[in-house]
A and B are shown apart, each in its own frame.
Chain A
Amino acid sequence: MNELLSLLEHNARRPLPELSAVLKRSEYEVGKEIKAMEDERIILGYNTLIDWNKAGVDKVTAFIEVNLTPQRDVGFDAIADRISRFDEVRSVYLMSGNFDLLVIVEESSLQAIADFIAQRLATIDGVTSTRSHFMLKPYKKDGLMTGPKERDHRLVVSP
């Protein structure tokens, strides 16, 4: 596995000198590889994981199951691309099973999401049905537990 990627995956803010020391390669070399992976879109970007509830900001997240009529030659790709381009849409996945696309939408209110589904998503040509699930409480987000930081319970000095 690419060691540099696994280092960045869980902490995108690792400083270059640290990466360089850990990987035993020069800062210049490591910097160049990061740039190359950004250019190749292996690294898509750097987000911050935020517990918005804790920050006192209202956010509503919906997981929407979408059924589609596949189109000649492009299958689901063209519609999926079209849905993905809306700013409200956080993630889009093609799924096996009872529906075709899983669309994750984040908005400031239930009403805003309802409007988005009714006026934009459901009306797209080829979308045959939608079914929405609203997220009530996050326990773990992208590999990270929500909730308080776990304390280091160890003694300060031990043999």
Chain B
Amino acid sequence: MSLDWKKRIAPQVEAVPPSGIRKFFDIAAEMEDVISLGVGEPDFVTPWTIRESCIYGLEQGRTSYTGNRGLPELLEEIARHKKEQHGLDYDPKTDVLVTVGVSEALDIALRALLSPGDEVLIPEPCYVSYKACTTLAGGVAVPVPARIENEFRITAEDLEAHVTPRTRVLLIGYPNNPTGAVMRREHLAELADFVEAHDLLVISDEIYGDLTYGGEPHVSFASLPGMQERTLLLDGFSKAYAMTGWRIGYALGAPEIIAAMTKIHQYTMLCAPITAQLAAVEALKRGEKYRDKMVAEYDMRRGFIYQGLTKLGLSCFEPKGAFYIFPDVSSTGLSSEDFAEKLLMSEHVALVPGTAFGDCGKGYVRCSYATSLDKIDEALARIGNFLAQHTDFHA
């Protein structure tokens, strides 16, 4: 008698669909000469000074556990950094938790806040984990489509239509993966009134906060009047410092939520790896100029890919943050998935269908410009070929 494993898997896990990105990864990984615009991480390696400080730590025998919330030096650097960046005051002794990436922070935040059936408003298109983590935490994800007319910013009006008495949390991520949308102060102010009126908590994933372009620095949701106490601010090192593989991020918020998250963290993770924590200290102390150089490089590529896609006749708005651009491919008559799959098969260019980030991503694809100008140039040429072959394409 063989086990029926299907029946043994918990229903809340079964309820989570497999990631829409996985499928493309499997095909693309087999191909040679593929140019990938499908990568959600920097093409730079971590700046040497950061890598070197980790090596030094290992030489000095820094190989032990740290306190649950993280190395005191890192907690202090994080608090200092947020003060400098946004003028926000967080007490490193009670308001900061170092996590294994923003990924872990999202998971334990939702687990700490949600009771079964609690609803979370999730503007879409959005990062693939938001809905899944909500479901796994026993909550109900309520997607709220953002509109292209608003350059994929979410508005209070959009949200208002989805509030119920069970709504507990608004989970936002700007600058946005996959659209590159940003929310300026006036857009966030509208959301602040909304969450206040409905007494909601806000989880704000600001992992791309350092990656904004066009001279308008990122505004943290927590920096709006009265919002710091109801906001759990998440940030990390993966994107700004090209540290994805180190697995390190952090959460900032009221002592109560940080204590609750620390409880989960201490029993499930114990602490973030000390190697990554040492590197993160260096990133905050001396990483700024390397970060700014990478951001300047992304900015150049942004202009290049935006012009390139527009010239090819694909409409898109000029992204203002992160390293993604989200062109509309519906003019080809192909669905997002077909476009991505056919493009990969015939031209060996990988990108991600917009639907991987929510139903309202239908008709769009995500292109990452975290890749060299040469490769973007070549990818654009190949996309041009592909479009020319599609007869029902009217540019």
Contact = CB atoms under 8 A, between A and B. Distances in A.
Contact of A22 (B43, B129, B304): B304
Given A156-B36, A157-B25, A21 B303 contact: yes
B39 A156 contact: yes
A155 B377 CA distance: 20
A5 to B, nearest CB: 13
A96 interface: no
Contact of B303 (A22, A152, A158): A22
A14 B374 CA distance: 9
Contacts of A18: 304, 373, 377
Contacts of B28: 156-157
A7 B300 contact: yes
B25 A154 contact: no
Interface in A129-159: 150, 152, 154-159
A24 interface: yes
B310 to A, nearest CB: 10
B45 interface: yes
Question: Which DSSP category, helix, strand, loop or mixed, fits chain A's interface?
Answer: loop
Given A22-B304, A154-B41, A159 B127 contact: yes
A156 B25 contact: yes
Nearest to A15: B377
Contacts of B304: 18, 21-22
B22 to A, nearest CB: 8
Interface string B174-210: 0001000000000000000000000000000000000
A152 B36 CA distance: 11
Interface in A1-56: 7, 14, 18, 21-24
Most buried by B among A18, A24, A154, A155: A154
A158 B101 CA distance: 15
B25 A158 contact: yes
Given A18-B377, A21-B307, A159 B19 contact: yes
Interface string A56-69: 00000000000000
Chain B interface residue bracket vs A:
20 to 34
A22 B39 CA distance: 21
Nearest to B178: A159
B38 interface: yes
A21 B38 CA distance: 22
B141 interface: no
A77 B331 CA distance: 67
B24 A157 contact: yes
B308 interface: yes
A152 B350 CA distance: 15
A24 B300 CA distance: 9
A157 B38 contact: yes
A159 B40 contact: yes
A155 B45 contact: no
Nearest to A7: B300
A36 B323 CA distance: 34
Nearest to A1: B296
Given A22-B300, A22-B373, A158 B29 contact: no
Contacts of B303: 21-24
Contacts of A156: 25, 28-29, 34, 36, 38-39, 350
A150 B51 CA distance: 15
B352 interface: yes
Contact of A158 (B21, B34, B308): B21
B128 interface: yes
Nearest to B30: A156
A18 B38 CA distance: 22
A123 B300 CA distance: 52
A149 B25 CA distance: 24
A21 B303 CA distance: 7
Given A18-B373, A18-B377, A152-B43, A157 B36 contact: yes
Interface string A111-133: 00000000000000000000000
B373 A159 contact: no
Contacts of A150: 45
B129 A159 contact: yes
A122 B286 CA distance: 46
Nearest to A20: B307
A150 B308 CA distance: 28
Most buried by B among A23, A24, A152, A157: A157
27 contacts: A18-B304, A18-B373, A21-B304, A21-B307, A21-B308, A22-B303, A24-B307, A150-B45, A152-B43, A154-B41, A155-B25, A155-B29, A156-B25, A156-B28, A156-B34, A157-B21, A157-B24, A157-B38, A157-B39, A157-B350, A158-B25, A158-B40, A158-B41, A159-B19, A159-B21, A159-B40, A159-B128
Q: Which 5 A-B pairs have the closest CB atoms?
A: A157-B38, A157-B25, A156-B28, A22-B300, A158-B40
Given A21-B304, A21-B307, A24-B307, 12 more contacts: A18-B373, A18-B377, A22-B301, A152-B43, A154-B43, A155-B29, A156-B29, A156-B350, A158-B38, A159-B40, A159-B129, A159-B356
